[in-house]
Amino acid sequence: MKYTIACIMVFLVAGGVSAQSKSEVALTAKINRIIRKMTLEEKIGMLHGNALFSSGGVPRLGIPELTCDDGPLGVREEIKRFDWASANWTTDSAMFLPNGSAIAATWNPVMANRYGVVIGEEANARKKMVMLAPAFNICRMPLCGRTYEYYSEDPYLNSQLAVQSVKGIQSQHVAACIKHFAANNQELNRDSVNTMVDERALREIYLPAFKAAVQQGNAYTVMSAYNKVNGYWCSENDFLLNKVLKKEWGFKGVVMSDWAGTHHTVAAANNGLDIEMGSSGPYDRWYFAQPLLAAVKAGQVSEKTIDDKVRRILWLMYHTSMSADHPKGSIATPEHAKAAYDIASESIVLLKNDNHLLPLKTSAIKRIAVIGDNAVRTFALGGYGAGVKAKYEVTALEGIKSRFGKTAGISFAQGYRANYLASKTDEQ
């Protein structure tokens, strides 16, 4: 009896793998045929940006550009192809979604998945094939500056949410780009700091959510972080990109740099980076453009390495822009607004309720004092790489007036004046 059960189990497992393998083998063969038709110059052209949010395709072979966009709070408003200025579209309003810390506060993977589905549907409506989200570095310190868009300080919670966010986005044939890999946990000098961390801490705290997003969520793209880890830039870190991500975790997709986060040609090419992205031209002079072509011709980077990068990009495209039955998408719909509302509602956490003060007896409220600069601010367009052009945004003061304006007197005092320093716009 035990022998019979064991045989059945082996048969079921083998059968499942076999069916999946046939599909993968067929796709690999198709991609290899395309690569054999490409010139070295065409291959190199796919490995670097050709505009602010796209990298090159091969029109001769029907390979489109790879288009991407921010970000963690919703699809960014359309900007000019070579300029951070607004493109002044009237059709690019998107849903302003709750941030990462709010999603974490729900403790609910279902909400993370709903967030991802909305992101994916809205990306399709805007023809963006890679969304630079979710972001889930560990919230190691409150001054990180990106903490609002990350999840939490807990590796397990981050992992569960990351997997579902990725699955939600990619259910719409849009790639999730998980970021920032890795140990990008402070804002001060984050584009130059050398993060010194032992391997145990790295594997127990900073990497679990990335591993889960790759192995359980099947994330299609990963963004390398700005910083160094143990002396090596993340965009050319052999341990992180080759040994752990691609070999140990079996990552099949594409590693792209953070914007202007590439520092060398040969080291980045040989140590795992696939696409170099950035903010300004001339694009043919980037590390992965003419310098990479020269490095291949000089024998410093093998064409086999280049082919692997192109193969990964094409694999990504066949799961997104070149996929069958690609969804059309939708944007800023009532259904999306309901998802945003539900996530925000679940994110509200009541820590204490002394003397049963809550819920408030609204009929007895006659006067309300609203104090603080944030009560009259909107936030959709703010933040590093996270701005969204919302159709409308209600401030806290407006919301309170709408609810209580006819039944209570409302007094507002600014209390302080916030001083928001200008930030660089080329950091994702």
* Residues classed as catalytic: 258
Please say whether the dihedral angle defined by the alpha carbons of residues 231, 235, 236 and 240, taken in this order, is positive or negative: positive
- Contact between residue 408 and residue 393 where contact means Cβ atoms under 8 Å apart: no
- Contact between residue 134 and residue 72 where contact means Cβ atoms under 8 Å apart: yes
Contacts of 159 (CB under 8 A, 6+ apart): 208, 209, 211, 212, 213
CA angle 101, 103, 107 (to 5 degrees): 105
- Please, what's the b/e burial string for 335-351 (b: 16 or more CB within 10 A of its CB; e: otherwise)? ebeebbebbbebbeeee
Q: Which helix (H) or strand (E) holds 221?
A: strand 221-224
In 10 A of CB 319, how many CB atoms?
19
- Contact between residue 61 and residue 49 where contact means Cβ atoms under 8 Å apart: no
Contacts of 180 (CB under 8 A, 6+ apart): 135, 137, 223, 224, 225, 226, 234, 258
**Beta strands, E only, 6-124:** 49-51, 54-55, 66-69
Structure tokens, 146: 């990106």
- Contact between residue 152 and residue 158 where contact means Cβ atoms under 8 Å apart: yes
Task: Please list the residues that pair with 412 across neighbouring strands.
Answer: 370
Residue 377 CA to chain centroid, in angstroms?
26
- Residue holding tokens 């990109």? 241
* Beta strand 228-229 pairing with 194-195: parallel
DSSP string, 96-140: ----HHHHHHHT-HHHHHHHHHHHHHHHHHTT-SEE---B-----
Structure tokens, 41: 């110059």
Helix 109-125, helix 334-347: angle, nearest 10: 150
